[in-house]
Amino acid sequence: MEGNFIKIGKNLVPAEEYVAEGHSFCTGCGEVLALRLACKALGRNVIIANATGCIEICTSPLPVTSWRVPWIHTLFENTAATASGIEAGLKIMMKKGKMPERDIKCVAIAGDGGTSDIGIQALSGAFERRHNFLYLCFDNEAYMNTGIQRSSATPYGASTTTAPAGKLSIGQTTWKKNLPEIAVAHNIPYVATASPGYPFDLMNKVKKGGEVSGPAYVHILSPCPTGWRSPSNLSVKLGKLAVETAMFPLYEVENGRYKLNVDPPKLKPVEEYLKPQGRFRHLLEGDIKEIQEHVNEEYAKLKAKVACFAA
């Protein structure tokens, strides 16, 4: 192990910051918190390919940069493809003796839009080709960088600028696309969900994903005070409540085997997660009940998969 560490309880966290201060993320941003933790978990031997989005914009206004690790941004939908080229390029140059053999992890970073909408084709291709890379999806559940437009990862009932709640609409009329399951369907060695509400779990998963040989995918819920219209001091709490209500369960799938990482003896009602957020403010009792039923159903399906591998 290299560098200095901070002791938090029984956990040692690297003191090194790879995303430098001076960035322009919003106050209380859950995404940059998760990003900092992820980078600490990965260390310095990485090359990061970043899709267009909040992280890219908030860390790289020419002529300055927040990145203390090698970093590249090219476009919005092509991050997994760019990562494919980085990974393949490094591997072949090491094989041909054009650069010294060493461990350099290629890490792709994108938001939920860049992953579940416009970037899904490139991501699917990179998974299928078995590139040795880690893909981190920072999911703040809408196009926050362009002004809170809906994505396919926006949860049912949330009000966004392109699926606003109104007299005739509840807001988002579709259920959140299940990206981790789509990743699992590619039979890649490692898939996990994480939340900055559980920082050590998040760091462990990112570290594990970085150590896997082959494609790995970590889907990170990223509470967004600006887009969720929630108080900026509640991001970590919402990151916990999402898990405690099973709106966003924490699990990992290693070589196809499901494991639940946080399994509350009794789930909190989804209302506790929805209420502090302005994007759900318009929901009526019946709507919340519908969401609760959906969450129960999805959680039961997940637990059934976990049970398959319990023995």
Partner 1 sequence: MSKRVGLEASFAAAEAARMANVDVIAAYPITPQTHIPERLAEMVANGELEAAYIPVESEHSALSACLGSAAVGARTFTATAGQGLELMHEVVYVASSMRYPIVMTVCNRALSAPLSVWGDHSDAMAVRDTGWIQVFCQNNQEAFDMTLWAFRVGEDSRVLLPVMVHFDGFSLSHVTEPVILPEQEEVDRFLPKFQYAFALNPDKPMTHGAFGPPDIYSETKVAQEVALRKSKGVILQGWQEFGDVFGRYYDPVESYKIEGAKLLLLTMGSFSETAKAAIDTKKDSGESVGLINLRLWRPFPFEELRQAVKDAETLVVFDRCISFGGPVGPVCSEVRSALYNEKKRPAVVSFIGGLGGRDVSVKDFEYVIDRGREVAQKGSKELFEMVGIRGQVTGIRG
**Residues 187/108, Cβ–Cβ less than 8 Å:** no
115 contacts partner 1 (rule: CB under 8 A): no
Minimum CB separation from partner 1 for residue 48, in Å? 9
| Residues 286, 235: Cα–Cα separation, whole Å | 26
Minimum CB separation from partner 1 for residue 20, in Å? 11
| Residues 90, 254: Cα–Cα separation, whole Å | 26
Going by their DSSP bridges, the two strands 216-221 and 190-194 should be labelled as parallel
Phi, psi of 133 (to 5 degrees): -150, 160
Interface with partner 1 (CB under 8 A), residue from 13, 26, 72, 306: 72
For partner 1, the closer CB: 124 or 232: 124
Minimum CB separation from partner 1 for residue 187, in Å? 17
Interface with partner 1 (CB under 8 A), residue from 39, 54, 82, 243: 82
**Residue 5: how many CB atoms within 10 A of its CB?**
14
By the 10 Å C-beta count (0-12 exposed, 13-18 middle, 19+ buried), 300 is classed as exposed
| Residues 260, 212: Cα–Cα separation, whole Å | 19
78 contacts partner 1 (rule: CB under 8 A): yes
146 contacts partner 1 (rule: CB under 8 A): no
**Residues 245/236, Cβ–Cβ less than 8 Å:** no
What residues pair up with 202 in beta bridges, in sequence order? none
| Residues 84, 126: Cα–Cα separation, whole Å | 6
Query: Which of these segments, 58-66, 173-181, 205-213, 275-283, binds partner 1 (CB under 8 A)?
Result: 58-66
Minimum CB separation from partner 1 for residue 223, in Å? 24
By the 10 Å C-beta count (0-12 exposed, 13-18 middle, 19+ buried), 278 is classed as middle
Minimum CB separation from partner 1 for residue 91, in Å? 6
87 contacts partner 1 (rule: CB under 8 A): yes
Phi, psi of 242 (to 5 degrees): -60, -35
H/E element, 258: strand 257-260
| Residues 130, 213: Cα–Cα separation, whole Å | 9
Minimum CB separation from partner 1 for residue 43, in Å? 9
165 contacts partner 1 (rule: CB under 8 A): no
Minimum CB separation from partner 1 for residue 145, in Å? 11
Interface with partner 1 (CB under 8 A), residue from 13, 16, 26, 74: 74
Interface with partner 1 (CB under 8 A), residue from 5, 36, 125, 262: 125
- Total binding residues for partner 1 by CB under 8 A? 49
Query: Which of these segments, 61-69, 156-164, 201-209, 221-229, binds partner 1 (CB under 8 A)?
Result: 61-69
H/E element, 34: helix 30-42
122 contacts partner 1 (rule: CB under 8 A): yes
Going by their DSSP bridges, the two strands 46-50 and 71-73 should be labelled as parallel
Minimum CB separation from partner 1 for residue 213, in Å? 16
Query: Which of these segments, 39-47, 266-274, 279-287, 298-306, binds partner 1 (CB under 8 A)?
Result: 39-47
Site residues for partner 1 per CB under 8 A: 44-47, 49, 56-57, 60-65, 67-75, 77-78, 80-93, 95-96, 98-99, 104, 121-122, 124-125, 128-129
